[in-house]
């Protein structure tokens, strides 16, 4: 069954909530890194945070509408971080199905990006992302068109990327799905790295069991990550960080 197309107002609220929820979990990096969402009915446009704002300050009305070149198109005159739209604009252009793109520099995500083996099937959290993460080599701060092409090629039709020596990225058909996939990636990275630090030896689930668990998790696709969790997360946010809907 086709999902109803959300309004821009609904997407703004969900994206602002995603920023606030990320801040509560320590996923922010002062004023850097970004969560973005496509604008319904406006191909080529997406919403992103204004440059200089903290994640816990983001509101629905404060999000900036830009095109894939990072040009502000809402008449607000607010600035955006050019290093943000180079990643987000490239992914939105290459993946119309990716309604939301999340890129973070969390301690666990960056630590995982330093490990050559990447994410292993060592926890149930990791099973949802088994075979669904690509890798992108570190090429420095500059992100030109050539690297954009390599990045989207490495992402392909997957659910996310480990950006070597840099951080993590997830995409979703909804803001809720992208956020939940990042949540699972964070938990899986933390569990794996903590186990590695505890001493030698790591129990890795066999490939066939990991693949089976992934199939069980996604099912027939009628329910996606975030469908059940997002309303509960928003109820909590209404109590702890009101104002995001403004």
**pLDDT tens, 11-56?**
999 999 999 999 999 999 999 999 999 999 999 999 999 999 999 9
- Rounded CA-CA distance 99/178 in Å is 9
Residues 117-123 have a mean pLDDT of 98
Q: What is the pTM of this model?
A: 0.96
pLDDT of residue 22: 98
pLDDT of 1 > 70? The answer is no
pLDDT of 10 > 70? The answer is yes
pLDDT band at 81 (very low <50, low <70, confident <90, very high): confident
Chain-centroid distance of CA 114 in Å reads 19
pLDDT of residue 68: 82
pLDDT of residue 77: 83
More confident residue, 68 or 13: 13
Chain-centroid distance of CA 36 in Å reads 8
pLDDT band at 143 (very low <50, low <70, confident <90, very high): confident
Answer whether 114's CB lies under 8 Å from 165's CB.
yes
pLDDT of residue 3: 83
């Amino acid at each position: 069954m086709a999902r109803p197309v959300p309004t821009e107002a609904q997407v703004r609220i969900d994206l602002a909530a995603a920023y606030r929820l990320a801040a509560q979990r320590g996923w922010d990096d002062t004023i850097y890194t970004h969560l973005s969402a496509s604008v319904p009915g406006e191909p080529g446009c997406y919403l992103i945070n204004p440059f200089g704002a903290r994640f816990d300050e983001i509101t629905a009305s404060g999000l900036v509408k830009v095109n894939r070149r990072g040009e502000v198109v809402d008449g607000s005159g607010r600035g955006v971080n050019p290093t943000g739209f180079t990643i987000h604009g490239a992914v939105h252009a290459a993946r119309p199905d990716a309604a939301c793109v999340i890129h973070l520099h969390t301690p666990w995500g960056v630590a995982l990006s330093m490990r050559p083996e990447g994410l292993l099937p060592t926890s149930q959290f990791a099973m949802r992302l088994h075979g669904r993460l690509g890798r992108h080599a570190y090429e420095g701060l500059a992100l030109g068109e050539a690297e954009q092409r390599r990045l989207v090629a490495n992402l392909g039709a997957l659910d996310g990327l480990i950006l070597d020596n840099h951080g993590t990225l997830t995409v979703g058909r909804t803001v809720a799905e992208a956020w939940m996939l990042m949540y699972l990636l964070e938990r899986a990275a933390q569990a794996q790295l903590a186990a590695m630090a505890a001493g030698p030896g790591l129990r890795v689930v066999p490939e066939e069991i990991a693949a089976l668990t992934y199939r069980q998790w996604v099912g027939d696709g009628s329910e996606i990550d975030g469908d059940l969790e997002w309303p509960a997360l928003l109820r909590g946010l209404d109590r702890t960080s009101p104002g995001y809907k403004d």
